[in-house]
Amino acid sequence: MNYYRTFTIAAVLGLTFTNGYELTISAPEESQHELASKSLQDIRNSLGSNNLFDGVIYYKAQNLGGKYDIHPFRIKEVFYNDQLGYSNAVTMYKASFGTGSGIIPGAQSYHDSLRIARDFGPRMSLPEKLAYLSFMGSRLAEGYSSKTENESDMEKLFENALDHKLNGGICGDIHRYLSEHATALGFDNVGLHSGIWQKDSKGKDGDGHLVYHFRDPSSGVYFIQNYSQIVNTGQNTVQGAVDVSTRILGPISGVSQVESSERKNKYHAYLPKTSRWVQANLKGFAEMKEDDPIVRLKVSNEGTTAGLQFTKDLGQGSKARGFIMHSDFDTRDGRFEMNAVGFAMQSQFSTPLANSIIDEYGTTSSLYGGLMQIRAPSYDSKLNAMDKTRDTFFMGVKVRGYARVNKTTGRIELETFTNDFGLKDNAASVDARPRLGVNQKVGEGSFSVDAERELELTRNSQKEKSNTLQTHFDKVSLIYDSTKAGDKAYLVLNSEYYVFEGVEAFAASAVRQVIKLSFPTAEFGTISFAVDASQFVSNKSGDAYYDNPFAASMKVAIEKAVNKFVSVGAGIEYSKNRAYWVMDPDITPEINKAKGLSGFIWVSAKI
């Protein structure tokens, strides 16, 4: 048992003992049964919650797949028995920086260097191309200079490298230079992407960083390059490659700005898988719902999530909360672990109006923040440390306003967060997503039509301070939702149609179908069924960012109550491929998760 898990369990036991002891000495003459009942109710009253504990223990049987142990491209190993291939790569590299040979003339300009790559690249093997790019990355890195940051003139970088000077720009400039040579060599789906590069295992020297990715068209596999370091990610999608890249750079990059493969300086704000897992855990404790428990516990063979949350009703629709939580997730590559302590504030009000065009309006606002530590494994101990730890400050804000006229409700919303602000290095990224939407109820039943536009904050060039708001997607949803509070029988049908970058650009489009069905039976308990499937149907832009395959997950489960507090359940689940990140129901840090059939059983308790 590790230190943080021990601390969490000790905190839970300490809270239970303290409250129990105080209640015991205050009423020594009461019977044990009366004391227990009074203790539970007094704890509920004093802590402002009707639910003290919500826990589940489950076991999941599945094929975890192989260990995702990647290795960087190592020139000495690759060319140990291929001196001719090594010589070809060296000859190309020298020619690209002015030293020609009898076959290849020396480049006298940046455009000459690109021409050499285009003309002679088709004759090179894949290892020769990778070695050539690695040599170039090493040469350009020697001229790194923070004083000439974001210099977009590639000719100046060429001249600086040619003369071995120290005015060669920073990461974005160098990797722009390399990415254009990768394209000239015949690689495709090339683009820059950002992350937080934490070289030190303890998070003392993290910094925002730009690297680039490219695809080998013959295998469909993506590579990433960080100066001289080249890695085969083993991934067949841009989003998968960026997940691997940001994991290599450090334990967490909250947002990665990913450049379009077809439009230079067009970026997408992507949330890597680890960031989404962290954010889901934080919001799970920060967002306040009716009858939230004080103690939350989830234990499984995959990992543990445990925490305490104390909520205070401030009156007039406002609440405050303090929480402490731990979560870990075990993969074949190691354990992901996060620990956080934080606070949350929430306020909401609604006002009905009479004799007005508007029937009702209202707002909901929430704020949360705190301190977090995350530890994540590296894919290769030679590439980086075995694991890395990062201490961060996190904060999130969500503000929503609405107005209703009859059965039509319009809304405006802003959600923003940062979860990677380093306490030791101040490196950070921010996700900000304004949304506009309208919902139309149809008839008196459970059917509605919803339309929404989501924008995202991203960069519009490789320059450090170049932020812009752009449309992420327009979405139309047809929704049937028969859920009611306390009713175990329901049906939810949600058909979604996405147009990425808005209807005016129509860069790509996708459909998603979500089905949820639940009904109680006298003999077997409650049976539930869920399907989540998505598919891109067009990609007018040709942007590899939208090259995600058909993805689907299906779950069937049975749950039966043992008594008032405890229930048991079992089910099976099937999944295929990873969906586009907004539609991905798999909120775990696992990248190499094997898809297929799995089974699970659980026991849950609510007190």
* pLDDT tens column, 218-248: 999 999 999 999 999 989 999 999 999 999 9
- Domain match, 87 and 30 both: no
Query: Where is the domain boundary, 232, 262, 289?
Result: 232
Tens of pLDDT, residues 511-570: 999 999 999 998 889 999 999 999 999 999 999 999 999 999 999 999 999 998 899 999
Query: Beta strands of 460-577 (E only): which ranges?
Result: 467-481, 490-500, 508-521, 525-538, 551-561, 566-576
pLDDT at 464: 65
166 and 137 belong to one structural domain:
yes
**Most confidently predicted of 35-44, 171-180, 590-599:** 171-180
User: Within a domain: residue 578?
Assistant: yes
| 3-state SS, residue 149 | coil
Cβ partners under 8 Å of residue 12, min gap 6 = 295, 297, 306, 308
User: Average pLDDT, stretch 191-220?
Assistant: 90
State whether 189 and 280 are in the same domain.
no
Residue 553 to residue 576: CA distance in whole angstroms: 6
**pLDDT value, residue 202:** 73
Asked, for residue 532, whether it belongs to a domain, the answer is yes
Q: Is residue 242 part of a domain?
A: no
Asked if residue 13 is part of any domain, the answer here is yes
Given a cut of 70, is residue 45 above it in pLDDT? no
The answer to the question of residue 285 being in a domain is: yes
Q: Please, are residues 289 and 391 in contact by the beta-carbon 8 Å criterion?
A: no
- Name the pTM for this structure: 0.90
580 and 508 assigned to the same domain = yes
Choose among 74, 65, 64: nearest CA to 232: 74
Does residue 138 contact residue 230 with C-beta atoms inside 8 Å? no
User: Residue 112 pLDDT > 90, yes or no?
Assistant: yes
Burial class of residue 533 in the structure, from the number of CB atoms within 10 Å of its CB (0-12 exposed, 13-18 middle, 19+ buried) = middle
Which residue type does 89 have? A
Relative to beta strand 295-300, strand 53-61 is parallel
Is residue 137 located within the same domain as residue 37?
Answer: no
Residue 172 phi/psi, 5° resolution?
A: -65, -40
Q: Is residue 413 in some structural domain? A: yes
**Most trustworthy range by pLDDT among 5-14, 107-116, 194-203:** 107-116
How open is the CA angle 96-102-103, to the nearest 5 degrees?
Answer: 65
**344 in the same domain as 455:** yes
Please give the helix or strand (H or E) that residue 412 lies within, else none: strand 408-422
**H or E element: which one contains 361?**
strand 360-377
Distance CA 144, CA 165 (A): 9
pLDDT at 375: 94
| Pair 16, 151 in one domain | no
397 and 478: one domain? Answer: yes
Cα→Cα distances 472→269, 313, 456, Å: 9, 36, 6
Query: Does residue 366 lie within any of the structural domains?
Result: yes
E strand or H helix that includes residue 115: helix 110-120
pLDDT of residue 25: 41
Query: What is the C-alpha separation between 509 and 519, in angstroms, rounded?
Result: 34
The count of residues in the chain is 607
Do 97 and 57 lie in one domain? The reply is no
285-292: average pLDDT: 91
- Domain of 89, CATH number, reads 3.10.620
pLDDT band at 12 (very low <50, low <70, confident <90, very high): very low
Helix (H, G, I), strand (E, B) or coil at 27: coil
Which of these ranges, 8-12, 37-41, 348-352, 431-435, has the smallest mean pLDDT? 8-12
Name 172's bridge partners.
Answer: none
Chain mean pLDDT for the chain = 89
Both structure tokens of 70: 């990647």
**Which CA distances in Å does 136 have to 97, 462, 500?**
9, 20, 36
**Count of CB atoms within 10 A of residue 524's CB?**
10
Domain identity same for 359 and 504 = yes
Residue 19, pLDDT score: 45
Sheet holding 221-226, edge to edge: 229-232, 221-226, 207-216, 188-197, 256-259, 267-270
Shared-domain flag, residues 386 and 521: yes
Q: Which of 71, 87, 89 is nearest to 229 (CA)?
A: 71
Whether residue 19 sits in one domain with residue 53: no
Q: How many domains does the chain have?
A: 3
Within-domain flag for 559: yes
Task: Look at residues 203, 232, 261 and tell me which one is the last residue of a structural domain.
Answer: 232
DSSP state at residue 403: E
Domain that holds residue 581: 48-67+274-606
Quote the tokens at residue 375.
């530890």
Distance from C-alpha of 480 to C-alpha of 430, rounded to nearest angstrom: 34
Alpha carbon distance 594, 554 (integer Å):
15
pLDDT at 18 over 80: no
3 state DSSP class of 112: helix
